[in-house]
Amino acid sequence: MGTLYLVRHGQASFGAADYDQLSVLGTRQCQVLGEWFAQQGLQFEAALTGTLKRHAQSLEAIAAGHGDVPAVRVWPGLNEYDPEVLVRAFHPGPLPQPRSQDGPEIVKAHFRLLRDALAAWMAGRTQPAGMPSWPDFVAGVAGALDHVRNTHRGNVLIVSSGGPIATAVGHVLGAGAEATIELNLRIRNSAVTEFAFSPKRHHLLSFNHLPHLHLPERAEWVTYA
């Protein structure tokens, strides 16, 4: 039986013109995760990412910390949904773009709206322009999981985003939309989720774990966006 390690990308650039770019802290989060993997003696026989810059940058930082990560296979089905397009489809009126320096209430309001927009998309009440339907999004993630269990038998690394990882967990557990949204909004940057897998199925072992950030001096390294 193999083990699949699903890693959410490091902290990106929330509120900036280009979110799809790791911050300095995001790079460091992933580098120390790679160091932790090496300390555990973990070797990977395969690595997969989506096509986003923050996925590639996170894997590069993990590889820098680990020292030995295999060549990556790019899997578009591991890409994140577009939160701005989702929200516009649900709330077509003008909305302020949240920034990292905004107060907590403004940021919380943004994520409440995102939660409602996700629920509408999943239920088929909206179809955001340029995005797959919810069933097609699930199929893209499930395709990556099927590839892993059909092709590999050892340790496999996936670097992706909160949406695909929450969708993978929901898919394996048979969870509904509400639970999948809750999982999505709780996943922390560079967090590790583990599946045991066989040729027949995946089993959840752990979710949203930060073993590399447990030291007291890294308490402020825990981020969500």
Say which residue the tokens 């986003």 belong to: 52
* pLDDT in the model for residue 98: 59
pLDDT for 103-148, tens place per residue? 566 667 778 899 999 999 999 999 999 999 999 999 999 999 999 9
pLDDT for 177-191, tens place per residue? 999 999 999 999 999
Q: How far apart are CA 101 and CA 92, in angstroms?
A: 25
How far CA 9 is from CA of 30, 144, 162, in Å, comes to: 8, 17, 8
How far CA 156 is from CA of 98, 130, 135, 151, 201, in Å, comes to: 35, 30, 25, 10, 15
Which residue ranges make up each domain of the chain? 2-81+133-221, 82-130
Element (H, E) at 163: helix 162-173
> pTM of whole model > 0.85?
yes
Instruction: Please report which confidence band the pLDDT of residue 94 belongs to, taking 50, 70 and 90 as the band edges.
Output: low
In this structure, CATH architecture of domain 2-81+133-221: 3-Layer(aba) Sandwich (3.40)
Phi, psi of 159, rounded to the nearest 5 degrees: -115, 120
